Amino acid sequence: MNSILFFRCVYIIFILACIFEVGYGKTVFEYVFNKACQSEGINLVLIPWGTYLLWPIVLNGPCNGLLEFVIIGTLKAPTDKAYSINVDHWITFQHIDGLIITGGGKLDGQGPSAWNENNCSKDPNCKTLPISLRFNFVNNSRISYLHSVNSKEAHVNIWGCNHMKLNHIHIIAPKDSPNTDGIRIGSSSNIEILNSIIATGDDCVAMSSGSKDIIIQNVKCGPGHGISVGSLGRFPNEKDVSGLWVTNCTFIGSQNGLRVKTWATPYSSNVFNLTFEDIIMDNVNNPIIIDQQYCPHANCQKGNSQVQIQDVKYRNIKGTSYSKLAVTFDCSKIKPCENIELNHIDLTYKSARGHAASSCSNAKGIAIGQQQPRSCL
């Protein structure tokens, strides 16, 4: 156990870095990380009370023992334009087996300094801004009691990871901030997101190509764009998405609730075994939606999606829809959605006396129990 040493080292030098507000934090952070990574056993790195400026950093394993980061203070990302436009990350952990991050501290991405550089809604080939926290090829990790505010782009990106548990995570950015997804997952399996609050300008959780066996439980989403599978089908050779279980979650004032989105392109993959259970919608624009003609830009490739969606269950979904169309299944003509289950759906249209409605195209499945709106399956 080298925690005392690390504690002293981090503490003293971070205070200097803090006082002088120099880009000094990075060297210290790297030094401490490398020491901790090289040691066997459990190694603690403590970021104590206070606010520290930290330059973009990659914390690269493999390590010889288990790493535990206890973040108590606040880390702030730099606001320099040169850095915002040229780096895809702020803090990256990669190639690590056995990582714990906890402590109740905060990561402040200082997004307001960079959001006006984001022109992705106009330019499909835009450069993306830095993601606050990236995990690349990290196995067996637990991230808990962490706050992330105002990321410049997404808050957390999980890529090539297995067995990760995120618990008591609090993510926040304004509802009109561009592309500030809460948690993005791709090419990863056995990921759990539990007991968390995610309020941003984009997706609450987005699961792209290769996401497998994901559990999302007791999560509050909104504002933002809801929990999304996808978008899928934008690129060739995407991997399947399967084994998603979303349970006991609440959506408040979000643009979507439970969404699957695929582009209408010639690239094929499969989406199957998704279960959405015990969900409350509070004034959500599209509570349940499968959109196989997803097109966030004006000029998308037009055609039929080749992404096959099947075995998707919606069980006990209730609350209010902000729009009349509470349930939308807009599936592909050549790969219709198969085996969709609507089971006890109770969604009312909030802002008028009319009833909520549902719309199906190319969707096959069954309706069980109460159905409000009336099922179109």
Ligand X SMILES: *[C@@H]1O[C@H](CO)[C@@H](O)[C@H](O)[C@H]1NC(C)=O
The footprint of ligand X on residues 44-63 (CB under 6 A) is 62
Least Å distance, CB 217 to ligand X, is 6
Binding to ligand X (CB under 6 A): which residues in 101-120?
A: 119
- Does position 251 interact with ligand X (CB under 6 A)? The reply is no
| Cα 210 from Cα 197, distance rounded (Å) | 25
- The helix (H) or strand (E) run that includes residue 165 is strand 162-172
81 binds ligand X (CB under 6 A): no
Q: Per rule CB under 6 A, is residue 296 in the interface with ligand X?
A: no
Please confirm, yes or no, whether 89 is among the known catalytic residues. no
Q: Which of 348, 289, 342 is nearest to 314 (CA)?
A: 342
Does 97 contact ligand X by CB under 6 A?
Answer: yes
- Least distance between ligand X and beta carbon 75 (Å): 24
Contacts of 291 (CB under 8 A, 6+ apart): 259, 260, 261, 262, 328, 330
Q: How far is the CB of 302 from ligand X (least distance, A)?
A: 21
CB atoms within 10 A of CB 237: 8
Residue pair 174/192 in contact (Cβ under 8 Å)? The answer is: no
- Pick one of 3, 102, 218, 268: the residue that binds ligand X (CB under 6 A): 218
User: Among 73, 78, 86, which residue's Cα sits nearest to residue 54?
Assistant: 78
Nearest approach, Cβ of residue 279 and ligand X (Å)? 11
Report whether 281 contacts 257 (CB < 8 A): yes
Q: Which of the 8 DSSP states describes residue 20?
A: H
Asked whether position 277 contacts ligand X by CB under 6 A, the answer is no
Would you count residue 248 as binding ligand X (CB under 6 A)? yes
- Residue closer to ligand X (CB basis): 94 or 286: 94
- Cα–Cα distance for residue pair 267/230, rounded to 1 Å: 13
For residue 65, state whether it binds ligand X (rule: CB under 6 A).
no
202 is catalytic: yes
Active-site residue, from 89, 203, 225, 240 = 225
Task: Give me the DSSP letters along 309-363.
Answer: EEEEEEEEEEEEESSSEEEEEE--SSS-EEEEEEEEEEEEE-SSSSPPEEEEESE
Size of the site for ligand X (CB under 6 A): 20
Whether the Cβ atoms of residue 173 and residue 203 lie closer than 8 Å to each other:
no
The CB-of-114 to ligand X minimum distance in angstroms stands at 11
Cα(341)–Cα(238) distance, integer angstroms: 26
Q: Of residues 243, 252, 270, 300, which one binds ligand X by CB under 6 A?
A: 243
Output 62 or 236, the one with its CB closest to ligand X.
62
* Closer residue to ligand X (CB): 124 or 266: 124
- 42, 269, 287, 310 from 338: Cα distances, Å: 48, 14, 20, 5
Shortest Å, Cβ 325 to ligand X = 26
Calpha distance 168→146 (Å, rounded): 7
> How many whole angstroms from its chain centre is CA 334?
30
Question: Closest separation between CB of residue 266 and ligand X, Å?
Answer: 26
Q: Does 8 bind ligand X (CB under 6 A)?
A: no
Q: Say which residues have a Cβ less than 8 Å from residue 310's Cβ, sequence separation at least 6.
A: 270, 271, 272, 337, 338, 339
Stretch binding ligand X (CB under 6 A), from 90-98, 102-110, 151-159, 258-266: 90-98
Name which of 10 and 185 has its Cβ closer to ligand X: 185
| Binds ligand X (CB under 6 A): choice among 126, 235, 351, 355 | 126
Q: Does 236 bind ligand X (CB under 6 A)?
A: no
> Using CB under 6 A, which of the segments 47-55, 94-102, 196-204, 363-371 binds ligand X?
94-102
The answer to the question of residue 139 lying near ligand X (CB under 6 A) is yes
Contacting residues toward ligand X, per CB under 6 A: 62, 85, 95-97, 119, 122-123, 126-127, 137, 139, 162, 213, 218, 243, 245, 248, 250, 273
* Residues marked as catalytic: 202, 225
